Structure 1
Amino acid sequence: MAPLRIAVLECDTPLPPIDDRYGGYTGVFTTLLKASAKALNKPEQLDPENDLVISQWNIVNADKYPNLEDIDAVLLTGSKHNSFEDIPWINRLVEFTQQVLAQDRVRILGICFGHQIIGRAMGAKVGRSDQGWEIAVCDMELTEKGKEVFGREKIRIQQMHQDIVATLPQGVTLLGHSPRCAIQGMYAPRRFISVQGHPEFTEWMETIIIQTRAETGVFNEGQAQDGLSRVGNEHDGLAIGTTFLKFLLEE
């Protein structure tokens, strides 16, 4: 089996304690994807130690992108930035995403901000939700296709967003929804899969983010306490990571 070459397009730098431990979002996602490859337990298809070739691309500051011939997938990370802004690096990312979507070999994984960028690249409206923030472990109700793709009836996932994909792009399948977000996941076979939540976030990471945003006034006391009360709940990050790998390996 040839290695699976995944380019992680880092759309942000994690908060210092997370960055120090993992070395950027690439380290965070490498941890999730290696654990997911072990959980997948198909070493003849994907050896967790040798078959994941993950490269790091700082697209906010360096503005360098991988050649599509050199990779099999791109992963668009979350970000504190707004997916709808008209600024050079975000516009460049939207253009690159459109290039990937225009071909049929390299696939895309989109997480949070990355999910929104895919929506924007396909002409969907992205912007602030009128429902406010969705924080910590929340239920994602799955559509019939969502149940098939994830192999379960419901998904619990760490959340950290106030921006949403507001309209489903043409030709795209909805995977799930929640009371605060109508488009929690999108899917196009052999092209892309995306989620609004954060399968890569652990209780420790999410706690740091909530506490930092409370200290800086982004969250009020009630929001912070609500988030911290659910941050340790069981979630399906590993199962979502496994679904991502199955999607990338699918012929």
Structure 2
Amino acid sequence: MEGAKRYGVLMCAEDSDYVRNKHGGYFGVFMRMLAEEGERWDMYKVARGEFPEERELCLYDGFVITGSCNDAHGNDPWVHHLINLISKLNSINKKILGICFGHQILGRALGGKVSRSPSGWDIGVRTITLSTSSSLALSSLKLPSNLSIIECHRDEIRELPRKAEVIAWSEKTGIEMFKYGDNIMGIQGHPEYTKDILLHLIDRLIHHNFIMESFAVETKLKAEMWEPDTKAWQRLCVSFLKGRLL
């Protein structure tokens, strides 16, 4: 559609059968959170080596970088290709929203450091605190100072890039969110996830021996007690990506 806003999802994860059948894959999950009528959304499976052409980058209004089972501090060829792409997008001031792995790879690409968290996995629904001095707190969104979000990660940004600003933290993770200029934002948690996706991922982590079953049972019980602030996260992510934060 001529003149339509155009966005790209840089898909860093493979769909499981469950997410594909229940939610239309992770692309479908992101579409439900971010897409609005009249927009064009493209998907690039970057973990399989599918990247947008450099000459096409200027056609996009923004990009989203998804979560992944891979390490943002790893050295897979596609990870290095993604780091180079982030540098190019930043140089032309494109909006980029990074989620979980996407948050971490943004931190690395911009000069920060990512590694395993010294306190291990963070899985479940966690409350994070937004900085009262950030542009988000001062925006027309009128967000509360605390928001609940689904988390599923064992890596984290340990050192921020220069010029980046921490805009949210939690008891477990010092950099839950950051902004870099007006065009880049990272979120460690998963604003796009529903709780059934979280419970499905916990089962997958048990199956692959990433976590102990006793830890998983406790995590599931805790997750049932809390609800993520899904609507607030949707407003925040859509407003940032589409330049509506005032």
Same fold at TM > 0.5: yes
**Aligned residue among 185, 204, 220 for 1:212:** 204
1:171 equivalent in alignment to 2:163: yes
**Aligned residue among 44, 66, 77 for 1:88:** 77
**Aligned residue among 125, 132, 142 for 1:137:** 125
In the alignment, residue 233 of structure 2 is paired with which amino acid? I
1:190 equivalent in alignment to 2:182: yes
**Aligned residue among 107, 111, 117 for 2:99:** 111
The Cα offsets for residues 41-85 of structure 1, whole Å up to 9 and x where unpaired, read as xxxxxxx332x3211111111432252122100100000000011
| Contiguous gaps of at least 5 residues in structure 1 | 35-47
SS of the residue corresponding to residue 231 of structure 1 reads helix
- Report the alpha carbon displacement of residue 218 of structure 1 after superposing the two structures with TM: 1.2
In the alignment, residue 118 of structure 1 is paired with which amino acid? L
Pairwise mapping of residues 1-251 of structure 1 onto structure 2 (< 5 A)? 3-34=4-35, 48-50=36-38, 52-66=39-53, 67-104=56-93, 106-144=94-132, 145=134, 147-148=137-138, 151-232=143-224, 233-250=226-243
Distance 2:74 2:12 in 1: 13
* Cα RMSD, aligned residues only: 1.8
SS of the residue corresponding to residue 126 of structure 1 reads strand
Of residues 181-190 and 119-128 in structure 1, the stretch that sits farther from structure 2 once superposed is 181-190
SS of the residue corresponding to residue 223 of structure 1 reads helix
Distance 2:152 2:137 in 1: 23
TM-score by length of 1: 0.88
- Report the alpha carbon displacement of residue 214 of structure 1 after superposing the two structures with TM: 1.6
In the alignment, residue 91 of structure 1 is paired with which amino acid? H
- Report the alpha carbon displacement of residue 227 of structure 1 after superposing the two structures with TM: 1.8
Distance 1:9 1:186 in 2: 19
Contact in 2 for aligned 1:159/1:198 (Cα 8 Å): yes
Contact in 1 for aligned 2:49/2:78 (Cα 8 Å): no
In the alignment, residue 173 of structure 2 is paired with which amino acid? C
The count of corresponding residues between Structure 1 and Structure 2 is 236
| Contiguous gaps of at least 5 residues in structure 2 | none
In the alignment, residue 164 of structure 2 is paired with which amino acid? V
In the alignment, residue 59 of structure 2 is paired with which amino acid? D
Distance 2:175 2:25 in 1: 27
Distance 1:135 1:14 in 2: 19
Distance 2:112 2:15 in 1: 27
Of residues 3-12 and 127-136 in structure 1, the stretch that sits farther from structure 2 once superposed is 3-12
The Cα offsets for residues 93-118 of structure 1, whole Å up to 9 and x where unpaired, read as 011011111122x2000000000010
In the alignment, residue 122 of structure 1 is paired with which amino acid? L
The Cα offsets for residues 189-213 of structure 1, whole Å up to 9 and x where unpaired, read as 4311110000111011111001121
Compared CA separation, residues 189 and 124, structure 1 to 2 (3 A): closer
TM-score by length of 2: 0.89
Distance 1:4 1:25 in 2: 21
- Report the alpha carbon displacement of residue 156 of structure 1 after superposing the two structures with TM: 0.5
Provide the identity percentage: 27
Distance 1:138 1:240 in 2: 13
- Report the alpha carbon displacement of residue 229 of structure 1 after superposing the two structures with TM: 1.6
Distance 1:139 1:242 in 2: 17
SS of the residue corresponding to residue 162 of structure 2 reads coil
